[in-house]
Amino acid sequence: MTAPQKRLIWITRAEPGATPTAARVRALGHRPLILPLLEVRPVTEAPPDLSGVGALAFTSANGARMFAKLSSNRTLPVFAVGAACAQAARAVGFRHVLSADGDVAALAAGIISRAGEFKGGVLHPSATEPAGDLAGALGQAGVALRSLPIYETCPLTPSPEALTEALQADAALVYSPKAAQQLAKVMRGRTAPAMRALCLSKAVAKPLARARIGPRTFAPVPLESALLNLIDRAAAPLGPTA
């Protein structure tokens, strides 16, 4: 049986997630190249006020990780936007985690359907520029939500030399729409027709529609394991394409 071809995989995600992803890519027999297109920065060190809070809502894995650094509370139920976000919440110690397996609208629907199961409002630890209008969707149903910006995600522009190396990759792993937007930006004036973009979801792939790269493919479910499974299928049709 022929061994899988060793591929060069560009990991575009921010730290601290990039390093463990590189280890997983290496374990699959491939060569990881860490060159983040985003940087996650905390915007507060103050412990969150949890008075009157009956549940937490996370719309990103970074939100779960950053909240865990600010608070030791792991007893509140957690509503997560998708599987990767739910996985991050469990990894930092939350036991009661529900995944919407969708977008912000699906998350809102999940919270509304279970609003009678917790007492108090919902706290949304988020980025300074959160995706979607979770507060508006919950407010229409009479569910109180308080947003708490705890981090910001800032674009990073690689040096020309580092970018030239990265564009030799067989595939780039892209985890968020914002990272995809930055990839499209740094690709302006450049081409990489042999590099596939392997994206965590269809929404992540969308900003790359006009980038001059190889085919854009998204994982069937928004889990890193599903995303990494696409690497060894990179020489053949990879299922859903953007």
Q: Is residue 221's pLDDT more than 50?
A: yes
Q: Is residue 24's pLDDT more than 70?
A: yes
- pTM value is 0.77
Q: What is the mean pLDDT of residues 79-92?
A: 91
Question: What's residue 3's pLDDT?
Answer: 55
Q: Cα–Cα distance between 86 and 100 in angstroms, integer?
A: 9
**Residue of 215 and 2 predicted with greater confidence:** 215
Q: Cα–Cα distance between 193 and 167 in angstroms, integer?
A: 9
CB 62 within 8 A of CB 153: yes
SS (HEC) of 45-84: CCCCCCCCEEEEEECCHHHHHHHHHHCCCCCCCEEECCHH
Question: What's residue 237's pLDDT?
Answer: 39
The fold of the 41-153 domain, in CATH, is Rossmann fold (3.40.50)
Cβ neighbourhood burial of 160 (10 Å; 0-12, 13-18, 19+)? exposed
Q: Cα–Cα distance between 95 and 34 in angstroms, integer?
A: 31
What token pair was written down for 100? 């919407």
What token pair was written down for 74? 């792991």
* Mean pLDDT rounded to a whole number for the chain: 91
Q: How confident is the model at residue 152 (pLDDT cuts 50, 70, 90)?
A: very high
Q: What is the CATH number of domain 8-37+157-233?
A: 3.40.50.10090
Question: What's residue 2's pLDDT?
Answer: 53
Q: Is residue 5's pLDDT more than 80?
A: no
Domain extents in the chain: 8-37+157-233, 41-153
User: 121-134 burial by CB neighbour count: b if 16+ within 10 A, else e?
Assistant: bbbbbbbeebbeeb
What token pair was written down for 153? 């995600």
Strand, coil or helix: what is 193?
Answer: coil
Equal fold, 8-37+157-233 vs 41-153: yes
How many CB atoms are closer than 10 A to CB 233? Answer: 14
- Please state the φ and ψ torsions of residue 117, each to the nearest 5 degrees: -95, -5
